[in-house]
Structure 1
């Protein structure tokens, strides 16, 4: 990743292109600005000065903020190292048990330059950076922020080079390591370290992402109990019918959705597909589901995923026993927006609460048969069929949904 841009919690922290323009304007630096395509990629107009633009740190109530010329990236370490590791356990005899491979958190160490026109502006620059690195303000449990970075100098809209990391928070710094005083201003070198979840995400694949009006889906009669009745586990070939194995210890029961639907009902069925050619061959991917209920409450929502390596017509793929997984939600209120995000492994429902306010809640997700839900990861380019079902009587004319598929990697 290049060190020239960092957006944390929707706040621009590092922008070397902006800092270079301001610094050259006031003769603090005369070097060519890095990444000339950066302003276009982040949809910025040509930079003028901190007040005119205005810059993210500019505050009319703090005159020194106009003297702060920005943050220029020098180095960013931690993106190109895999966080995957395993600890072998030595056996009593020869060799070792490999153990379970897991990924730890990722640490991102940044070195940046704070550019100011006069010494009195340096304390404000340090204060602003320290505050901005705390991330976006949140209520209740804070689970970290999203950062946006670029893998190389962007061109055009920058989507090909843009990368995202989640669960990001400051763990060290910012610390001033050196200060250089010049006739034209002051340059301070600062370091800080961010912790993040291990995965580095690209933009969603282009093959999916269009909104689907759920009311336009095909009408069918659907009985979940009858559909799953034939889903049986295969009998192991070594099971002796004349000498059955002893029974296993009783396991704790799996929690089941208390409102899991029983009996037949009329459903609306919409299907979207992704071909194997649309998926990266060496990158795994996770889904993101977005849904808007419209004017009425939506009940018995089922979103089902199938692998489709042969490229069959997805309208003909309807065997729940062969599905990769389900996302099932028994109830969504009217006027609600649902987000089920495989990148952060969090789900939330946002509902209107009065004329201007809204409230966000975490829905309970269930899997097949209303049982435990597991976050799906698609590790091979098998193609996908995605089926969206909801009861016809509760599907409003405004209800719509879309499913995104987001590639990710362990290094970048």
Structure 2
């Protein structure tokens, strides 16, 4: 990843192109053009000065903010190393059991330059940078924020080079390591460390050729969407001696299921989405992001199923739950709410209308097949997907709609 740009919680932190333009205009730096197309990728006008633009840090109530010329990235360490590790357990005899591979959090050390015209502006720069690195008002303190960076200098709109990290928060700093005074201003070297609780590095969602689907426009049908689970075949152990059965295994704790899970036939709308990624990288995994808007009425018994479709078959012919990768089942969603099931952060939330208060956010419980445990799907090879969305006709509003995005990820960048 290049150090020339970073935004945290949708707020610009580092922009070397902006800082270079402002500093050159004040003769603090000689001609320097890091990532010449950065402003275009950010949809910014040519940079003039902190007051005219105005810059993200400029505060008209604090004149010294106009004398702070920006943050120039020098280095960013921590993106190019995988966080995967495992601890082998030594056996009594020779060798060891490898153990489970897991990924730890990711730590990213930034070294930047703060460009200021005087000491007051430098003091303000540190105050602003410290506050900006806290992230969003709640997300930064509670669960971290989204970090946006570029893998290389962007071209065009920059979407091909843009990367995202999630659940990112300040771990250490910022602190000045050196400060150099010039006749025209001050250049201070500053370091700070960010921690990403989610270690993966995500690209932009793939172009799948699919957009929002109106649920009420799906195929009407009446059936029990789960009755076929009773017919799923399982392999039978072939070494059990019928005349000498093995001792019974200890009783396992029961798997919690949805207490209100409905059974039996019902009238559904069935919408089928075929995702055919155009540009999915061959060696990267991908995870889905589900977005669903309930519209004018509460939505009950929503079932979303995923099938891998490597041969590009007709998704309308897919109907066997036994072959599905996983189910997402949600018992109830209130009217006017928006559900987001995000495979990038493995979180789910529902934004619900709260009258005069606006909206409130709740965390739904996701269930899997037959109301049992849910597993987050990960698609480890480039393949199309068939996605079936079922909703009861009696509760599906005319304006209810859903869409699914597919997002590639890597553990280094």
Contact residue 224 and residue 261 of structure 1 kept, 8 A: no
Whole-Å Cα distance in 1 between the matches of residues 2 and 277 of structure 2? Answer: 31
Matched ranges for 1:73-88 at <5 A: 73-88=73-88
1:385 aligned to 2:386? yes
Deviations 1:282-326 (A, max 9, x none): 000111000100000011101100111221100001100010000
Whole-Å Cα distance in 1 between the matches of residues 405 and 139 of structure 2? Answer: 27
Deviations 1:68-108 (A, max 9, x none): 00000000000000111112222222222111111111110
Whole-Å Cα distance in 2 between the matches of residues 187 and 74 of structure 1? Answer: 12
Which residue in the other structure is 1:111 paired with?
111
Contact residue 150 and residue 161 of structure 1 kept, 8 A: yes
CA pair 278-140 structure 1, distance change in 2 beyond 3 A: closer
Whole-Å Cα distance in 2 between the matches of residues 411 and 15 of structure 1? Answer: 22
SS in 2 for 1:40: helix
Q: State the Cα distance separating 1:276 from its structure 2 match.
A: 6.8
Stretch deviating more after TM superposition (174-183 or 131-140): 131-140
1:15 aligned to 2:12? no
CA pair 326-208 structure 1, distance change in 2 beyond 3 A: farther
Contact residue 279 and residue 383 of structure 1 kept, 8 A: no
Contact residue 224 and residue 369 of structure 1 kept, 8 A: no
SS in 1 for 2:370: helix
Whole-Å Cα distance in 2 between the matches of residues 276 and 195 of structure 1? Answer: 31
Whole-Å Cα distance in 2 between the matches of residues 113 and 139 of structure 1? Answer: 27
Contact residue 204 and residue 407 of structure 2 kept, 8 A: yes
Contact residue 277 and residue 381 of structure 1 kept, 8 A: no
Which residue in the other structure is 1:193 paired with?
193
1:403 aligned to 2:404? yes
Which residue in the other structure is 1:370 paired with?
371
Q: State the Cα distance separating 1:139 from its structure 2 match.
A: 7.0
Structure 1, unmatched stretches of 5+, are: none
SS in 2 for 1:229: helix
CA pair 246-277 structure 1, distance change in 2 beyond 3 A: farther
1:101 aligned to 2:92? no
Which residue in the other structure is 1:49 paired with?
49
Which residue in the other structure is 1:245 paired with?
246
Whole-Å Cα distance in 2 between the matches of residues 337 and 405 of structure 1? Answer: 19
Matched ranges for 1:268-287 at <5 A: 268-275=269-276, 278-287=279-288
Whole-Å Cα distance in 2 between the matches of residues 241 and 269 of structure 1? Answer: 45
Which residue in the other structure is 2:298 paired with?
297
Contact residue 57 and residue 65 of structure 2 kept, 8 A: yes
CA pair 203-363 structure 1, distance change in 2 beyond 3 A: same
Which residue in the other structure is 2:25 paired with?
25
Stretch deviating more after TM superposition (92-101 or 176-185): 92-101
Whole-Å Cα distance in 2 between the matches of residues 209 and 48 of structure 1? Answer: 41
Whole-Å Cα distance in 2 between the matches of residues 295 and 405 of structure 1? Answer: 27
SS in 2 for 1:403: strand
**TM-score (ref. length: structure 1):** 0.97
SS in 2 for 1:257: coil
**TM-score (ref. length: structure 2):** 0.97
Whole-Å Cα distance in 2 between the matches of residues 240 and 324 of structure 1? Answer: 33
1:206 aligned to 2:207? yes
Q: Give aligned pairs, total.
A: 412
1:226 aligned to 2:223? no
Q: State the Cα distance separating 1:239 from its structure 2 match.
A: 2.7
